[in-house]
């Protein structure tokens, strides 16, 4: 695991530590959880953008014929 150093207002850090204590955890554990959520949300946003670009690129693709509802729902 890698270490990082952050700077923040002293009162903000104290308040965050107190909140972590109330939750019976540590500020470090809370930050790790937040960092994981942040990274996942950024990856999710990137995937949504990539999907949008793919769908735009495929907008001109055609199968050559239209399928009926029954054909599309056939299993």
pLDDT digits over 44-57, tens only? Answer: 888 888 988 888 88
**Is residue 43 scored above 80 in pLDDT?**
yes
Instruction: Measure the CA–CA gap between 52 and 58, rounded to whole angstroms.
Output: 10
Cα-Cα-Cα-Cα dihedral sign, residues 49, 51, 56, 57: positive
Indicate whether this model's pTM tops 0.85.
no
């Amino acid at each position: 695991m890698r270490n990082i150093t952050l700077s923040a207002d002293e009162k903000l850090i104290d308040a965050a530590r107190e909140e972590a204590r109330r939750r019976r955890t540590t500020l470090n554990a809370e930050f790790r959880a937040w960092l994981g959520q942040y990274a996942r949300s950024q990856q999710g946003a990137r995937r949504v953008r990539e999907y949008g670009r793919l769908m735009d690129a495929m907008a001109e693709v055609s199968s050559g014929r239209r399928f009926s509802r029954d054909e599309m729902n056939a299993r």
